[in-house]
Structure 1
């Protein structure tokens, strides 16, 4: 009984701010033409979708997040396989060094990354944000997938190669199905970090290519339309919820296997 009450209180504590944000997103917090202040409806969502800048911000976020996940998983999987199957002096120290790099505050590297990307023409581009996010997500993806690959018996590799499979055939027909939960966990963390990251999104999008986080920040002014801000915020939660729904089975199996 006490445990159930504690879970209910925890659920209320977590969901109450979300419920309040959703209610505000349906409320006209500023008077508009034909809409009285305090009225309820979908007018804020309609205003968000009617704004070209906000639609562009959603598209930019989708582009760089998807590209970041593809790069992190695509580059991390071969590296994780090599680290799991090959032993060399300092291999564990190398893994630790990657995690230490991931713990480096992004603001420390913001200036050199901005200078480098400005020379390469990657400022104000979703591709630039995707590349710098991949720089920070790649160590996490490698670390997660390496532990899952290490749990797969080496006999699977040997049997596949004896059966005449090439390296690509082995990866796609044998290894990836075996470690699908680990790939799901890695993709989830890469997606979440890239979707909510603010530092590089602010630094690398000075005039164009702004993502959702910067679009929401720009909506605050002397007279902020809180209802419209909350509508944009609720829309920004949808891709994350969709991602959790798509990889929910892999996430559950992945965390269970890691435990």
Structure 2
């Protein structure tokens, strides 16, 4: 009994340590933290969320983030699935080394490639656009997508492919009708990680959005000034958490099944 109580107490303390900053963020987002006419500091109000809706730059930053994150996830899965299938089903000299090379590229610090990427994207006219951020995020997230999808495809027996081909399916038909439903948990895990890595990335978001196309991370950073409206910052932070929480809810079953399968 004492051991159960001890573990329960440790769990409560750990949960409180993790959730306390989130709870404080949520509470402050509903408070007026600057002097305003007809409103005292600390008063509960929706003024911060109304200010977000009334600011075109903040609204645009939310839309920009949703655009480039969605494009990043779609590109990573669309390009990673055929590559992962090829690496899983076909053998060639250096195939395993190629997988490790992909992982080594992923752990390269993004700031090392910031200058050449900026020059390349500037010449291509992709600076200050959500598409540019999506492409550079795909460059770094694609190795992770290939690694995750390759492991899930390798868990599917080769006889599954052969049976579908004997039934007359082409490779695209097999991928769409049979393989994708079979590895849906892996696709859910891949989408989750690609979304998270892209949503919280700030290095390329800062470099590639000099005058326009700023994502929500840069919009929050721009709110800090000599007299920062903490309530507005916290409200934007809460808004930035909503898509991530929504994605986790949407793919929660796939994520749970995915980690169970790979375990």
Runs of 4+ in 1 over 3 A off after TM superposition: none
Partner of 1:99: 103
Query: In the alignment, which of 26, 35, 38 is matched to residue 34 of structure 1?
Result: 38
How far is 1:7 from its partner? Answer: 1.0
Distance in 1 between the 2:163 and 2:81 partners? 20
Query: In the alignment, which of 194, 199, 203 is matched to residue 203 of structure 2?
Result: 199
Partner of 2:191: 187
Q: Provide the alpha-carbon RMSD of the alignment.
A: 0.6
Distance in 2 between the 1:160 and 1:111 partners? 47
SS at match of 1:97: helix
Per the normalisation by structure 2, the TM-score is 0.97
* CA deviations over 1:124-153 (Å, ceiling 9, x no partner): 000000000000000000000000000100
Query: In the alignment, which of 20, 29, 32 is matched to residue 25 of structure 1?
Result: 29
Query: In the alignment, which of 120, 124, 127 is matched to residue 131 of structure 2?
Result: 127
Distance in 1 between the 2:179 and 2:248 partners? 23
Distance in 2 between the 1:33 and 1:157 partners? 69
Matched, 1:168 2:168: no
Q: How many residues align?
A: 259
Distance in 2 between the 1:142 and 1:23 partners? 40
Partner of 2:56: 52
How far is 1:245 from its partner? Answer: 0.3
Per the normalisation by structure 1, the TM-score is 0.99
* CA deviations over 1:87-133 (Å, ceiling 9, x no partner): 11111110000000000000000000000000000000000000000
* CA deviations over 1:134-180 (Å, ceiling 9, x no partner): 00000000000000000100011111011011222111111001111
Distance in 2 between the 1:69 and 1:38 partners? 40
Query: In the alignment, which of 131, 147, 154 is matched to residue 150 of structure 1?
Result: 154
How far is 1:33 from its partner? Answer: 2.7
SS at match of 1:200: helix
* CA deviations over 1:219-249 (Å, ceiling 9, x no partner): 0000000000000000000000001000000
Partner of 2:18: 14
How far is 1:34 from its partner? Answer: 2.7
Distance in 1 between the 2:189 and 2:134 partners? 19
Query: In the alignment, which of 122, 128, 133 is matched to residue 118 of structure 1?
Result: 122
Distance in 1 between the 2:12 and 2:54 partners? 39
Gaps of 5+ in 2: none
Distance in 2 between the 1:123 and 1:166 partners? 40
